[in-house]
Amino acid sequence: MTTVFIVDDHDLFRAGVRSELADDLVIVGDASQVLPAIEMIRERQPDLVLVDVHMPDGGGRAVITGVHSTHPDILFLAISASDAPEDVVATVRAGARGYVTKTVSPDDLADAIRRVVDGDAVFSPKLAGFVLDAFSAMDVKDLDPDLDKLTKREREVLQHIARGYTYREVGEQLYISAKTVENHMSAVLRKLQLSNRRELTRWAQDRDLI
Amino acid sequence: MEQRSTALEPTLLWIITGYRIFAAGWLSILGAVAVAGEATDVDKPGIVVGTIALVLVWAGATTALRVLRPAATATWWLVGLDLLISCWSVVAGEFAGTIQFAGGYPLVGAFTAIYVYGWAGGILGATALTATGIGRVISESHSAAQDVANSIAHLFSVGAAAGVAAALRTSERRRDAAETALEQERADRIRAEEHAEMAAHLHDSVLQTLALIQRDSAATPDIRGLARHQERELRAWLFPDQGSGAAVAGGFKESLVNVCSEIEDLGDAHIEAVVVGDSAAAVEPIVRAAREAILNASKHAGVDAVSVYGEVADGEVLIFIKDRGVGFDPAAVPESRQGIRESIISRMDRHGGSAEIVSEPGAGTEVRLRLPTGDA
């Protein structure tokens, strides 16, 4: 069974998620602080870490970066009560394979975890919107077309996800297989993580300042 | 004159009062020497004695006034009376038939005028003293050189006093202004810090709790709706700039998000709104049509969530409203159903846009709206 580790500084939330997921998944531990979390994750090596975006001492980003420096194979799914785009995009860029809000239903959360473990990128409609916004805001000049631009198909897939379609439904709408949809989303995730850092930083700053 | 409770103004007042007491004593000694001394012969010693009595009483009266009613110092009649007595002290010796015995007393009137009226008071005082001095020179032929020297000394002293008072006051004003600005800045910073701290705290406690309530399957839809509403309000208050991103005031994004919030507050369903890009173009028709579609979905689809996606593309704006509810057969909607026909389809047609309704019973509904904006 899939092993999961929970990092969140809210006891109530950790306890709630633990009991909700206990039926389908094995919770191998939880932590409320960044540094203990990194140590425990390295020690227990779960399949996936559910990590809160907002925490003292660097938040989910610090946990992801710390673990990935020694264990690049451990997967991360970001979760947060806040929808601030710059925080979410920054966490995904640090290496999270997806993002869900804390209002997600237990079933959807379990589903999202399974999909990340299966190798998919999990994009909520909100995250799809953020990504579309971020890429369309990038300056056209000095772009690496392979990394800094979405293909027409990738945009279409993102738009459908932002409209509320599931991967399977997107496939039906666009006459492609669900697997192809997943591949497109993985490509988008890779671009988001690797693309022109300066431009995305500027996008985040612009949002922050206005 | 706007005065703050600084130390400068009372200090100036006490310098003048101190000088007045000193000058009154000086005048009394000079007068006494003139009357009692053997070097000169005084025609009318009564005038000398009277003048001494006048300046002593006046000094006592004004000092008492300064202690008891400081505000009364600045009245015009008091300044006028002070100047008059000062001018009298200049010519008193003449009327008494002796040498001048005013000493430095005449300057007191001018100083008071400077204190109350600034430079204007200085000019007034200098004019009065000089005019009196000149009058004396013209009426009498003897000791003219002494009178001219006195007048020049008066002019110089008054000018210097007015200059010093003005400089002191200017620097005081600047310091006050700087202090006020500093206090304001400090207050603003403290307020901003308190707000940030409270925001962090509420974010960590209340927002988390509201999120937990929303995902609690045991809570009734009403409770979850309430938690959603509270979360949105709190979020808007905590992070007024967030979520709107580079929003155009009154533009597409703001209008659409406002409509979604408004309908969500009716409590029927959670409206998940995602908006990409923004436009200041006239988007009212499409937002109104979208409002109708969102309202339909939240009221009639029988679901607790509706997805709304808005996008500003090249030369057009798009809005998609999707639910996973009961659905219906669009072809079977009766003519009388004004909501869909009039408010959505006809409205989009009239404004050069289009509306497409994709639905079938049991498979949910998606309304797709499209409006050209002209700006590519």
Indicate yes or no: CB of A12 within 8 angstroms of CB of B239. no
pTM above 0.90, yes or no: no
Query: B3-34 burial, b if ≥16 CB within 10 A, otherwise e?
Result: eeeeebbeebbeebbebbbebbbbbbebbeeb
Contact B358, B366 (CB under 8 A): yes
User: How many cross-chain Cβ pairs, A to B, lie less than 8 Å apart?
Assistant: 82
The Cα of A184 is separated from the nearest Cα of chain B by a number of Å equal to 20
Which has the higher per-residue pLDDT, B329 or B143? B329
| CB B101 within 8 Å of CB B92 | yes
User: Cα–chain-centroid distance for residue A136?
Assistant: 20
What pLDDT band is residue B225 in, cutting at 50, 70 and 90?
confident
8 Å CB contact of B274 and A125 = yes
The pLDDT value recorded for residue B187 is: 92
Distance CA A180, CA A168 (A): 10
The alpha-carbon gap from B337 to the nearest alpha carbon of chain A, in Å, equals: 26
Nearest CA in chain A to B199: A82
Residue whose pair of structure tokens reads 């004003």 in the numeric block = B173
CATH code 1.10.10.10 region(s) in chain A = 140-206
Amino acid at B73: T
Strand B365-372, strand B354-359: pairing: antiparallel
Considering only CB atoms, which chain A residues are within 8 Å of B214? 103
Residues of chain A with CATH 3.40.50.2300: 3-136
Residue in B closest to A53 by C-alpha: B204
- Interface predicted TM-score of the whole assembly (ipTM), two decimals: 0.81
- Distance (Å, whole) CA A64 – CA B76: 79
Q: Mean pLDDT throughout B301-310?
A: 88
Measured between CA atoms, the residue of chain A closest to residue B306 is A164
Domain A3-136 in CATH 3.40.50.2300: yes
| Sequence-ordered list of residues with C-beta below 8 angstroms from that of B111, at least 6 positions apart, any chain | B16, B19, B125, B158, B161
The CATH number, out of the four listed (1.10.3720.10, 3.30.565.10, 1.10.10.10, 3.40.50.300), of the domain defined by the range A140-206: 1.10.10.10
Burial of residue B289 (number of CB atoms within 10 Å: 0-12, 13-18, 19+): buried
A135: pLDDT strictly greater than 70: yes
B3 pLDDT band (50/70/90 cuts)? very low
Q: How far is CA A208 from its chain centroid? A: 20
Q: Name the residue with higher pLDDT: B266 or B84.
A: B84
Burial of A205 (0-12, 13-18, 19+ CB in 10 A): exposed
Separation between Cα atoms, residue A155 and residue A126, nearest integer Å:
14
pLDDT digits (tens, 9 = 90+) for B36-50: 876 667 788 888 888
Of A54, A45, A47, the closest CA to residue A13 belongs to: A54
